[in-house]
Structure 1
Amino acid sequence: MHARAALQLLAAANLAAASLPIIDAIAQVQPVTTSTTLQAYYYAPPNSSTSRLGPATTVAPPRTLTYTQTDYTPNPTVFATACAEISSAYSSRLAVYSSQIASGVDATYPTRVPVRPREAWDCLYSIPLDVDLTLDFISGVAKYLQFQSTIEYLKNPPANSLQDPVDIIGSLENLADQVRSGEIAHHIRFENAFRKLLQRCHDGHLGLVFNSASLISFRGPFTLISISPDAIEKPKVYVEKDLMEFELEASYITRIDGYEVEAWLAEFADYGSSQSPDARYNAIFANRDPGSDGTFYTLYGWYPGKNTISITFSNSSTYQYDYRAYARWNNALNWTGIRTGSDFYRNIVLNPAYFQVASSDQQAVAGTPDPSPTDGENVYHVHDKPRVKKRQMRTGVATTSTRPTATPTPRLPQLVYFNYPFMTHRVGPYVQDLNGIVGGYFLNDTIGTAVLDISSFAAADDDAEFQLQGFQAALTAFFAEARRLGSKKLILDVRGNGGGLVALGFELYKQLFPAAPANSYYRIRAHEAAQIFATAAEALATDKNTDALVELLETVGINNIDGDALDVALAIASGFSRQNTFDVNGKKPEDLATFIGPYNLTGLVNDTVSLLVENNLGFPLSDADISGFGSRANFTSSPQPFRKEDILLLSDGTCASTCTIFSELLKREQANVSSVVMGGRPNDSPSAHVGGTHGSRVLTFANLLSNSRRVVSLYPPETDEQEQYLIDNIPLALPFGFTYAAINFRDAIRPEDETETPLQFALEPADCRLYFSPIGFTDSVYLWGELSELKWGTNSNFAGCAVGGLQKGEGSTGYVPDDPETVEIVNYILQPLTPS
């Protein structure tokens, strides 16, 4: 059947439909047709002949209603001039820089200038609220959030998941009511309320960062750390600089803003992105491996409500410390031309120019991480996004001008470095990959312990190349050296690992267990828009077209396809195609209906989902093969470098995304792999070793909009009914700009779990829990040595575990406790504005 005819039949059955014309805010392609119905959904990119506001919309003047907030009520007279003052400071700083350059001084281009927190908030508070556009944003963003895999589970989270109920769509409707009624009368109040709604879901794959965060950021006065004297006794909270200078003689913190320190921190941590409360607690503090400042310093980007914070120490002294704020800028978003809140609204809030061009489908074939926000936790991660070389855009589809007849031999750089500094360790590793993703060490102990330090499954550089090849080569060299040295024990350090490329997680697992299967099953929500996208993907990636693509890839390679072949590849890579998946029996789903269903869930939730599938790791949508697949299929006969009983997994609970896929393979397939978790709340109870999002793929809003664009371009609607159906369901361009926005697309599911509960809601305790001691915090090499002795030797300075044990590598039988009851405190950083 012709693809368009198939779509029309599905539309008649109210399952899916052809698509409608939309304006692409990324590629600036023209609409297929002109429709007055679509005018309300049309938001043009900058430099377009059409107003950013679309027809019949205007920017509302600044409201002067007074709202109260703890300690500070913005004064309309003051906040009306705040943006101008900041803009002047910005211009002055640039003038100094220009003068230095003109004088021959070697100056660094400034990207931020300090301002007072209250002045920064006054500027943000002066941004006017456009009711119509805000309501358009709410209705439009709901179509993106419908792809969030856990949206129904969040309404009624499983018992013992430690997740409070969150009705995302219902909360959006409440926000809309507050906007209509005038209860929310300032744009920044809307932004904050929306961000807090998503943060309450505790999903590192779910989030949206508005453009305003690119111009103003808030900071705490210093970094904190949580330290135990011996890794077993409950820790105290210190100013990091104090502990580094005076060690345990330093006074620790007892109260913050008059509240007991742990009560204040419990409230503050609740806005973290990890699902485990212990992981959220850890994220407050500075970390040395990997390096991070912690959310007490980054403040999640929130305005702290005042200029100072009060800290009381164990010696009974109390000091007032200054919060900090910075005016920031970059090439896409800056302070040029901003004098008022209305200027800020027009130039920044409505500016879509920073809308993740890099993560749309010109990079949809091989896998590189999306740019992540600089503030707060490392919460956004990337999976399975195949990548092609950068090409010119042709109606929203990447292409090349010529088609080679054979695959050129790639010129690989040096993939592996030896004894080169890795991260912040004082000792260079034996081996690391060219992108610094993994570092391999050998300890000078009698046990013969090797260590792999993997703080991410993706390079820090967004433009890094040869990530899989370098990672693969470094692991191969490391395990070869381990065999040569006779190393029998292995520590896998995944502290702070927020995920990255799925291929790297599978690569590490297959190099550890070459002959073992690597099964990781998932499903997606099969709501209306997902069915539309799946139908379009099937129309492009038919069995015949897919077979032709595979044959072509064997000839020219993934980086050298264009035209129809590229369209097919992008459809397969989108996540809505069955062509690169296997069911639980190892077979490709036979047709679209088998794959997308929809299948009804009627247990804990009422929802429709797809078939339970896993990635076909041998499908050639990559420029390199994972060990055990494709050209490296013979790797399965390689020797296993370590017995599973001789492997120890070290985490701080923030393991997320690809890290959870890898950890799940270890714990499910290799039951005797022991685990240690560091830090967490000072309650001496079991703590989850994997506490970040267990979702197995993230999709950015740009990815989803690209799917809408592809459907629109290839299958324009032929009736008003089809057009309206698509308007009501598929994601369209949004009126407000943002630097990042994403949902969790896939739920990781254990096929043996009869309840089919997403692993996001399963918090499983580590075998052993320890707190950070001073030297364990500052020196990872020391920590590794002590853990090696604790697990396999007799000379550890650790008397044991704070909770659990490592004697036999058995799983803890404890449970992850709920938060202890804490006093209700007014949190200056998180307190919402309320009407006076």
Structure 2
Amino acid sequence: MRAGAALQLLSAANIVAAISFPHFAAFAEADATTAVPIQGFYTTSPSNSPTSNTTVARTGNATAATRTGTVTAPRTLTYTQTEYTPNPTVFRTACAEISSSYASRLAVYSSQASTNANAILPTRVAVRPREAWDCLYSIPINRDLTLEFISGVAKYLQFQSTIEYLKNPPANSLQDPIDIIGSLEKLADQVRSGEIAHHIRFENAFRKLLQRCHDGHLGFSFNSGSLIAFRGPFSLISISPDAIEKPKVYAENDLLEFGLNASYVTRIDGYGVEAWLAEFADYGSSQSPDARYNAIFANRDPGSDGTFYTLYGWYPGKNTISLTYSNASTIEYEYRAFARWNSALNWTGIRTGADFYANIVLNPAYFQLSSSNEEGVAGEHAPAPEPTNSGNAHHIHDKQKVRKRQMRTGVATTTTSRRPSATPQVPQLVYFNEPYMRHRVGPYVQDLNGIIGGYFLNDTIGTAVLDISSFAADDDDAEFEVAGFQAALTTFFAEARRRGSKKLILDVRGNGGGLVALGFELYKQLFPSAPAQSFYRIRAHEAAQIFATAAETLATDKATEELIETIERIGLDGIDEDTPGRALEVVLAISSGFSRQNTLDVSGNKPEDLETWIGPYNITGLVNDTVSLLVENNFNLPIQSSDISGFGSLANFTSAPQPFQKEDILLLSDGTCASTCTIFSELLKREQANISSVVMGGRPNDGPSAHVGGTHGSRVLTYANLLRNSRRVVELFTPETDEQEQYLIDNIPLALPFGFTYAAINFRDAIRPEDETATPLQFALEPADCRLYFSPIGFTDSVYLWGELSKLKWGTGSEFEGCAVGGLQRGEGSTGFVPDDPNTVEIVNYILQPLKPT
């Protein structure tokens, strides 16, 4: 159906403020305290007694020097472990016990706070993992609401740009085929039949489905994760003695205390450590298996405890895990669990699983969702239920506390954010030689939000370093992100010219993306006169056509011209609900992602009309889908808070001197570069062919590894964004018949029955216009020129790592004898596709898919 016909049943001229027909009552927020009838609870009887997976041999954090645990013979890969099923007589009281524990802690806090202003509100209380699971398991399932959720969430997932490609992934993409909608239908069948008879089983199955897509923009966090979190006993790290030899796996505290003399891990729960970890990593959000493998381990830069500790937030299926070490000792450690508390979702009034369902599962308070509909937030990894570096006192190594980027990332960083005072006249945009928590020394310059730090190494080569932790501030309320970023870059490059620095290392390790504008800003300041183009398309299914029609109804050519005149007269910040001409609604429609007004086609022209933009255009071959026109952002349109260098009011920046030659630039990554970071990296790759790349870490297979391994999607849309578009449709178009009403109900996303703390899809596919197949870059894993593993000092000291890489690339005397794979002369040993790991075997995975008895 063409876009012009998508709403042929609706009258675009009849604009109303509200809709009276009953089906759209779903937009109203449900009362969180309303009792909900529970159906289907205990349709299958759980086991009468809990099954213990493993007898605890010993607990604690013994170091390599003193470890003398029970020696066990290696197991074969035929494991008959059963999944733990709670005893009904136990799990029915678990929530009450946890709630009572929290009430006791709060009572202590209240008594302390009355006399001590420094008393700390308890936001987490340690509980036994099995007790936490017992509570979650006691949450009843409401079959009708669960089926309603499945039907409703499918409308959101239709906006996932790769949904058809995931069914039949391109060869060499290392992506397993996944039919998202078909899998949802199977989940619905399991709910109807009673095979899924507990709500938490459904939540886990749905999350597993999305995680298997390996898309950091695609994710869903239920409210339950805000109350209970599971944790591993400690963090692991993967270290090579010289950055070239295959790395070994160590308990983090062992390596930091004893160095390479520490015993390393050889088996986990009886299985070879590499096989167990490769299977465990398969639920990571990066597209590259090496990036997912890296995410298992603790990292100093960026700051992370790793998923072996965070467990993806899943219950591990038992209370202990056993590790076998190279000194032949086997020690069992206890998993951990924490009951959590925040102002929006907490344990108040929860005594039973039914209380949990009514107060938490059905709670519509999307407290972590921003109301912003800002164009240009490419987004990053969908957040885990809590930051990966939780900073809890029980962790072996206390680290800097971090807060999760709610809209933009799930990758915790340890940068600070210096927010200016309220309404400053002249904010301080850059800081010099001040602490920067990512490193032992402060950078020469950093922006006020700590997004980037600029360093100058004390070497004879004259090496400068830009440490780019993200393309967004860690603080969701940060101000002057673009202005501060621009100022810091300008200052840094001016100082590089003054010092005569000729070499530059761009460190994007751990960079999960952020504001698209910042990715383009960095590129344009590096290459002022070079083209800066990044093309994308969206799925043009029925709902996208409806949303595009709504956006066109508001943001017509005439309305857009009037908006530009208004912005030139009063400024973008002056536009609000009272601005004449519905200017604010036009701004939001243009920023929604469904408007053609801020796009340019491959010829540099704005699409002529709605049908030219949204199509839909058919693609066949590998997939059968409909998509929009291939376009790029028009950064000359004045609807962003600050202009990017080279565009708009800063168009003359194209004549600025280029600070570094492209052969004198080295891109350093750990493979987790995602979203806006991939847009920036793609600009480098397409336009600056001689820039070398180094990737750190990955699977110990001595094969090439992708330097850009996170999602290549170029914009994320949260469910809140999509629901806002549905509201716009409801306000603009009044159905006149039942058929018209049903058309909307069947297609546009409506409010879901279950609350959530984060939910998003990847909205845009990044496409190379010269690619005749027009395959999304999400399915292209291209190797770095040079691959190195982490050595002990390279792990702990980034300044050292930068220095050695500088000598390896441009100088002499580097402690790195070369690359583990490839080389720093472009193309040497680094062509072809990233290989799969031939050593990976199917093993038991307690975290996500415990095996049934054989």
TM-score where L is the length of structure 2:
0.89
CA distance in 2, matches of 1:825, 1:81: 34
Pick the aligned partner of 2:845 from 805, 827, 831. 827
Residue aligned with 1:712, SS: helix
Asked if 2 retains the 8 angstrom alpha-carbon contact of 1:282 and 1:652, the reply is yes
Deviations 1:274-298 (A, max 9, x none): 0000000000001101101110000
CA distance in 1, matches of 2:208, 2:32: 32
Q: Letter of the aligned partner of 1:46 in structure 2?
A: D
Aligned counterpart, 1:729: 747
- Pair 1:469-2:483 in alignment: yes
Q: Letter of the aligned partner of 1:44 in structure 2?
A: E
Aligned counterpart, 1:774: 792
**Alignment length, in residue pairs?**
790
Q: 1:31 to 1:347 in 2, by over 3 A?
A: farther
Asked if 2 retains the 8 angstrom alpha-carbon contact of 1:578 and 1:589, the reply is yes
Pick the aligned partner of 1:629 from 647, 650, 658. 647
Q: 1:119 to 1:241 in 2, by over 3 A?
A: same
1:783-822 aligned at under 5 Å gives the runs 783-808=801-826, 812-822=830-840
Aligned counterpart, 1:262: 274
Q: 1:379 to 1:816 in 2, by over 3 A?
A: farther
Residue aligned with 1:358, SS: coil
Aligned counterpart, 2:322: 310
Deviations 1:125-169 (A, max 9, x none): 000000000000000000000000000000000000000000000
Q: 1:733 to 1:370 in 2, by over 3 A?
A: farther
CA distance in 2, matches of 1:327, 1:155: 38
Measure how far apart 1:717 and its partner are.
1.8
- Pair 1:66-2:37 in alignment: no
Deviations 1:536-581 (A, max 9, x none): 0001000000000011111111111124000000000000000000
Q: 1:705 to 1:336 in 2, by over 3 A?
A: same
Deviations 1:151-195 (A, max 9, x none): 000000000000000000000000000000000000000000000
- Pair 1:585-2:598 in alignment: no
Pick the aligned partner of 1:243 from 255, 267, 271. 255
CA distance in 2, matches of 1:379, 1:584: 34
Asked if 2 retains the 8 angstrom alpha-carbon contact of 1:523 and 1:748, the reply is yes
Asked if 2 retains the 8 angstrom alpha-carbon contact of 1:382 and 1:697, the reply is no
Q: Letter of the aligned partner of 2:166 in structure 1?
A: L
Deviations 1:231-280 (A, max 9, x none): 00000000111000000000000000111100100110000000000000
Q: Letter of the aligned partner of 1:234 in structure 2?
A: K
Asked if 2 retains the 8 angstrom alpha-carbon contact of 1:17 and 1:532, the reply is no
CA distance in 1, matches of 2:788, 2:483: 35
- Pair 1:45-2:30 in alignment: yes
Aligned counterpart, 1:400: none
Measure how far apart 1:742 and its partner are.
0.1
- Pair 1:123-2:135 in alignment: yes
CA distance in 2, matches of 1:566, 1:19: 19
Asked if 2 retains the 8 angstrom alpha-carbon contact of 1:18 and 1:712, the reply is no
Pick the aligned partner of 1:87 from 72, 78, 99. 99
Q: Root-mean-square deviation (CA), in Å?
A: 2.5
Aligned counterpart, 1:34: 21
Aligned counterpart, 1:405: none
Q: Quick check: 94-103 or 788-797, which moved more?
A: 94-103
Q: 1:795 to 1:508 in 2, by over 3 A?
A: same
CA distance in 1, matches of 2:333, 2:487: 49
Same amino acid, percent of matched pairs: 78
CA distance in 1, matches of 2:670, 2:379: 25
Aligned counterpart, 1:393: none
Aligned counterpart, 1:77: 89
Q: 1:810 to 1:331 in 2, by over 3 A?
A: same
CA distance in 2, matches of 1:710, 1:72: 47
Q: Letter of the aligned partner of 1:420 in structure 2?
A: E
1:595-606 aligned at under 5 Å gives the runs 595-606=613-624
Aligned counterpart, 1:429: 443
Aligned counterpart, 2:77: none
Measure how far apart 1:34 and its partner are.
3.4
Residue aligned with 1:46, SS: coil
Asked if 2 retains the 8 angstrom alpha-carbon contact of 1:62 and 1:342, the reply is no
Gaps of 5+ in 1: 1-5, 23-29, 384-408
Measure how far apart 1:834 and its partner are.
6.3
Deviations 1:706-731 (A, max 9, x none): 00001111222222111100000000
CA distance in 1, matches of 2:377, 2:843: 48
- Pair 1:763-2:791 in alignment: no
Asked if 1 retains the 8 angstrom alpha-carbon contact of 2:219 and 2:759, the reply is yes
Gaps of 5+ in 2: 52-80, 390-403, 410-422
Aligned counterpart, 2:523: 509
Residue aligned with 2:105, SS: helix
Measure how far apart 1:65 and its partner are.
1.8
Measure how far apart 1:63 and its partner are.
5.3
CA distance in 1, matches of 2:440, 2:460: 21
Pick the aligned partner of 2:495 from 447, 461, 481. 481
Measure how far apart 1:99 and its partner are.
1.1
Aligned counterpart, 1:164: 176
CA distance in 2, matches of 1:306, 1:598: 50
Aligned counterpart, 1:534: 548
Deviations 1:70-97 (A, max 9, x none): 3522101000000000000010110111
Q: 1:161 to 1:367 in 2, by over 3 A?
A: closer
Pick the aligned partner of 1:608 from 613, 626, 631. 626
1:294-443 aligned at under 5 Å gives the runs 294-354=306-366, 356-361=368-373, 372-373=383-384, 374-376=386-388, 382=408, 411-443=425-457
CA distance in 2, matches of 1:190, 1:367: 30
Aligned counterpart, 1:11: 7
Deviations 1:627-656 (A, max 9, x none): 001111111000000000000000000000
Aligned counterpart, 2:532: 518
Q: Letter of the aligned partner of 1:34 in structure 2?
A: F
Asked if 1 retains the 8 angstrom alpha-carbon contact of 2:369 and 2:757, the reply is no
- Pair 1:547-2:561 in alignment: yes
Aligned counterpart, 2:291: 279
Measure how far apart 1:46 and its partner are.
2.9
TM-score where L is the length of structure 1:
0.91
CA distance in 2, matches of 1:558, 1:603: 44
Residue aligned with 1:287, SS: coil
Asked if 2 retains the 8 angstrom alpha-carbon contact of 1:7 and 1:17, the reply is no
Q: Letter of the aligned partner of 2:245 in structure 1?
A: E
Asked if 2 retains the 8 angstrom alpha-carbon contact of 1:238 and 1:251, the reply is yes
Measure how far apart 1:11 and its partner are.
2.9
